[in-house]
Amino acid sequence: MSDWVEQPLTWGNVLIYAVLAVVFLLLILGYVTYAILFERKVLGWMQFRHGPNRLGPWGLLQTVADVLKLLIKEDTIPRKADRALFILAPALCYAPSFAVLAIIPYTRELYFADLNVAIVYYAALSAISTIAIVLGGWASNNKYSLLGGMRSAAQMISYEVPLILSIVGTVMMTGSMSLRQIGEAQGDWFWEWNFLPQIIGFGVFIVAAVSELNRSPFDLPEAESELVAGYHTEYSGFRFAFFMLAEYVYMFAIAGLASVLFLGGWHPPAPFLDFVPGIIWMILKMAFVIFFLFWLRATMPRVRVDHLMGFAWKVLVPLAILNVFVTAVCLELFIKG
């Protein structure tokens, strides 16, 4: 795959890239289907119940049925809503989430793009989704949605800062912003992965990532019990599905990022385990991160909006900056000379 990517651009290559992108899109949709099912199953198990188990053996066709239901629903747009923006918002939310997946390396050879500014690319595109959420909240002509959209904007902007800052440590250790190189640079033993030397950064990254994803305990924009459904109250049918799709694809992206940046990417935990292909390790690590997100949702109550903001600016940002500082000092003293 890496050879294809590095070839010069011809029409034939464009066709191949398009086909690969479509294949990947289908894979992602398959992932989303089963991620939704597994979220409900895992939540159910943690709450002493089964989770969906009626549709299909073991509930495997549950999401298929849900998506089908959403597709055949009536397409309602509130009368005084801003039509153009209302229709644009879900698509605008989803597109960057898929675009972000291009930079994640799955193994040493399996990747779509090896940008040398991958981190910045990620930050920029995920911000477009924030705009889309505000757009959705505004265009719905509904006070609850507006409140939800505003809250969400505040939250996502606040948490991008510690998110990116926490990654700076790994960038410094590797000397490159390219995700492939950061993944490559981590060693074959699990204690050589970045999460141990960058433990503070890892902690900040996880917390900031959960908040970026608008997931519990930071799921104010969708706080069901307070604002009904926040910014997507007025969205039904497939438009709602787009928002959900965007959330799950971002989960995939964050899981990929976390695995590559901190958990050693495609490296096995010990060198003698390298008979297992790298892609399996990558999948396992991503699955673990996603499971952790489900686990948090089942356990934690919701954080209040002012605590949220205070936490981001007063706790996470200083910690991330501290991490950068300590990394710089250690690099200077112990590694460079």
Is the Cβ of residue 43 or residue 131 nearer to other proteins in the bound state? 43
Cα–Cα distance for residue pair 152/305, rounded to 1 Å: 10
Cα–Cα distance for residue pair 251/34, rounded to 1 Å: 13
Q: Provide the minimum distance between the beta carbon of 82 and other proteins in the complex, in angstroms, as a whole number.
A: 19
Q: Provide the minimum distance between the beta carbon of 224 and other proteins in the complex, in angstroms, as a whole number.
A: 6
Is the Cβ of residue 56 or residue 78 nearer to other proteins in the bound state? 78
Write the single-letter amino acid at 164: I
Q: Which ranges of 74-142 would DSSP assign to H, the alpha helix?
A: 83-100, 118-139
Q: Provide the minimum distance between the beta carbon of 304 and other proteins in the complex, in angstroms, as a whole number.
A: 5
Is the Cβ of residue 51 or residue 169 nearer to other proteins in the bound state? 51
Q: Provide the minimum distance between the beta carbon of 313 and other proteins in the complex, in angstroms, as a whole number.
A: 16
Is the Cβ of residue 65 or residue 228 nearer to other proteins in the bound state? 228
CA nearest to 41, candidates 296, 302, 291, 300: 291
Q: Provide the minimum distance between the beta carbon of 216 and other proteins in the complex, in angstroms, as a whole number.
A: 6
Q: Per-residue DSSP letters for 125-157?
A: HHHHHHHHHHHHHHHTT-HHHHHHHHHHHHHHH
DSSP, res 9? P
Cα–Cα distance for residue pair 99/83, rounded to 1 Å: 25
Binding site for other proteins (CB under 8 A): 43, 46-49, 143-144, 147, 216-217, 219, 223-228, 297-307
Is the Cβ of residue 12 or residue 301 nearer to other proteins in the bound state? 301
Q: Provide the minimum distance between the beta carbon of 3 and other proteins in the complex, in angstroms, as a whole number.
A: 47
Cα–Cα distance for residue pair 192/142, rounded to 1 Å: 51
How far CA 158 is from CA of 153, 199, 238, 288, in Å, comes to 8, 21, 29, 26
Is the Cβ of residue 35 or residue 118 nearer to other proteins in the bound state? 35
